[in-house]
Chains A and B, each alone.
Chain A
Amino acid sequence: NAGVTQTPKFQVLKTGQSMTLQCAQDMNHNSMYWYRQDPGMGLRLIYYSASEGTTDKGEVPNGYNVSRLNKREFSLRLESAAPSQTSVYFCASSDYRHLREQYFGPGTRLTVT
């Protein structure tokens, strides 16, 4: 039981390049989330998917797109990376049966130069 996995762990991009961050969970959770973490800012929600087939914007969605590929997988895409997107990205999942407790992946550290 791996929990929540994220790939890659580290990535360096040049401004304007695109990439997709992958996230998968094996806990049969309904809901999945993408957060970014910046120093002194805590975690801010980018997008979330309450259930398979639905996605919604969070607090900071600009510059990102998401795809809920199936119940297990939720990807985050940067179409044209900018230095302001340098951050640590966390994927999480939860299930209402566990009272909204979220389980987090190990994170992806992204640097945009």
Chain B
Amino acid sequence: AQSVTQLGSHVSVSEGALVLLRCNYSSSVPPYLFWYVQYPNQGLQLLLKYTSAATLVKGINGFEAEFKKSETSFHLTKPSAHMSDAAEYFCAVSENQAGTALIFGKGTTLSVSS
């Protein structure tokens, strides 16, 4: 069975510092991997997705993630945090089948201080 583990339920950084949110997955087949962001009292918005085209994926708002098959990881990074990045971030995995639902991690809340 697929699963997603997000290490750290809360991450705090200073404005301008590197953001690193960790995600490890388990899947028996080549997966699709996603990062979603949720701002307070809103729905989920796609940040970026990995679909086997390139291992380094660039998303919106300056975020990127690198797929490392050997480490079964898909960590999310941003070189310089902004106050507006404060939100909850979810990593998700989907198998390569039509209509398959996403399996979500438990989420990581990112706090950014000035």
Residue numbers of A with Cβ under 8 A of B are 4, 30-31, 33, 35, 40-45, 48-51, 58, 90, 92, 94, 96, 99-107
Which of B44, B46, B51 lies at the interface centre, i.e. has the most chain A CB atoms within 10 A of its CB? B44
Residues of A near B9 (CB, < 8 A) are: 40
**Could you say which residues of chain A place their CB within 8 Å of the CB of B99?**
30-31, 48-51, 94, 96
* Nearest CB on B from A49, distance (A): 8
- Once the chains bind, are B43 and A30 in contact (CB under 8 Å)? no
Residue of A nearest to B103 (CB): A45
Closest A residue to B53 using CB positions? A99
Say whether A100 contacts B42, CB under 8 Å: no
Q: Mostly helix, strand, loop or mixed at chain A's interface? A: strand
Number of A-B contacts (CB under 8 A): 62
Top 7 A-B pairs, shortest CB-CB distance = A50-B99, A96-B98, A42-B106, A104-B43, A42-B104, A31-B99, A43-B104
In whole angstroms, what is the CA distance A104 to B101 when docked?
A: 13
Cross-chain pairs A/B with CB under 8 angstroms, 14 sampled? A30-B98, A31-B98, A43-B44, A43-B90, A43-B102, A45-B102, A50-B99, A58-B101, A90-B44, A99-B51, A100-B94, A100-B100, A101-B46, A107-B42
CB distance from B110 to the nearest CB of A (A): 15
CA distance A35 to B9 in the complex (A): 20
